[in-house]
Amino acid sequence: MSLLVVGMSHRTAPVEVLERAALTGDAATKLLDDVHAAHHLAEAVVLATCNRVELYADAATFHGGVEEAGELIARHAGADLDAMTPHLYVHYEDRAVAHLFGVSSGLDSIVVGESQVLGQVRDALRLAQTSGSAGRVLNELFQTALRVGKRAQTETGVDRAGRSLVTVGLETVGLHVGGVAGRRAVVVGAGSMAALATATLRRLGAEDIAVVNRTSERAVRLAEAVGGRAVPTAELPDELTRADLVVSCTGAAGVVIPYEVMEAAVRTRAGRPLAIVDLALPHDVDPGVRELPGIAHVDLASLAEHPHVDDVADDVEAVRGIVAEELSLFAGSRLQARVAPTVVALRSMAEDLVSAELTRLRARLPDIDERVDTEVAATVRRVVDKLLHSPTVRVKELAAEPGGAEYERALRELFALDLRTVEAVARPDEGEVGR
C-alpha cells in the first residue's frame, strides 16, 4: 500500500475547469462512500476547497489507484474525465506527503499563507473519519499535516495580518467604494468562508452587514455573531440596490446572482459604485456583471492571476524549511513503522519457542520446585530478550536509511519468519476501510 494524491488546483487548471470539477453539496460524502467498493483504494480523504479538488488515498497499486481516483472525482463532480485529465496532477509517496504539508501550511493557496486552509484540511479529515474511509495511514498523515500547518502559523509570520481570499479580495476592489469602513455590506452564504467574510468586514469597520442564506437559521446565527442582519433570500435584490460591498461564497451548484438581477440593481443605484468579491466555486455571480457601470468585480480567476507572496517571501522560505524537516521525520517514522510488524513477528516466534521449551522442561521434571521453575522461566526469557534486543533496535534504525527495506527483508530471511504472520501484524484493522 502506498500514499497517493490525484487532483487539480488553481496552479494546474483555469477556474472554469475547477468549476466544472467542483464537488458541490454532498458529492464529497458520496465519493468517500464509493471508496468502500474500490478495488485499488483502501483509504481516502477528499480535500475540496474554493481553489482545489484532491483525493488522497492509500492505494494498493499506483496505476490502478490513479485511474480509480480520477474516475471517482469525475463521476461525483459530474465532469468529463478526458477534459479533466490534462489538468490533473499525481503525487506519490514522499511527494504526496510533501504536497499535503505544503497545502496545510498555506504554500499552495492563491493567497500564500492564508490560514483558512488549515481548517479545511481538518474538515476533510473529519468527513473521512465519519464516512469510515480514513484508516490508520491517512489519519496519521493528516494529523501530521495539521501539526505542520500549525507550526507554520506559530513559528513564522506567513499568515500575518489575517491574510485570506476575503482580505485580498476586499483590498483589490474596496477602494472602488472608498474602503470598507462605514460601508454597507452583504454576505451571501453562511459557511466557513462567509463566517470569515463577516468577521473581516466587521474588523475593517463595515457599518451594516446583511447575511443572506437559503437556510435562515444559519444566516441568523452568523449575523448575530457580528451584530449584523439576517435577510431572506427573496430580499437579496433589494439589498443589492443599497449595498456598497458584496461578498458571495455559497458553494451552490449554479449562479446565485444572475446578470439580470444585478442589471436591475444597477439601474436603481443610479451610478453609485458597488464592489463585488465572488469567492465561490463554481462562481456565484455572473461574470458579465463586471461590464455594468459602477461595478468593480473580483473573483477567484482574477485573484489567481496575481501572486500574493512578495510581502511574505522570507516567511515562505521558513515554512519550506519546516515542511522539509517534517517530511524527513515523517518518512523516517513510516519506514520504521514498516519494520515493526517484522520485529513483532520475530519476538512472537521467540516467545512461542520459549513457551514450548518450558513446557517440555516441566514435562520432564514434573516435581520441579515452583520457585526454581519461575526463576528458570525468567532467566530463559531474559537471555532471549538480550539476544534479540540489538538486532531489533538496529533494524529499526537502519530502516530510516536509504535501502532500509533490505534490512527488514534480511531479518525475515535469517529467522525464517512466516510472511503471513508479518502481514497479519501489519494490518490488524483490515476490513475496516476499503475492500
Residue 401: DSSP 8-state: S
Element (H, E) at 265: helix 259-269
User: Is the bond leading into 391 cis (omega within 30 degrees of zero)?
Assistant: no
Please, which residues bridge with residue 89 across strands?
7
- Kindly tell me the sign of the dihedral angle through the C-alpha atoms of 13, 17, 23, 27: negative
Helix axes 313-364, 370-399, angle to 10 degrees: 150
Sign of the CA dihedral running 355, 357, 360, 361: negative
Q: Cα-flanking dihedrals φ and ψ of residue 271, to 5°?
A: 90, -5
Angle between helix axes 62-77 and 27-35 (nearest 10 degrees) is 150
Q: Which of 69, 1, 64, 80 is nearest to 35 (CA)?
A: 69
Instruction: Give the 3-state secondary structure of 92-103.
Output: ECHHHHHHHHHH
249 is catalytic: no
Q: Which of 13, 50, 185, 197 is catalytic?
A: 50
- The CA distance from 21 to 86, in Å, is 13
Instruction: List, by residue number, the catalytic residues.
Output: 50
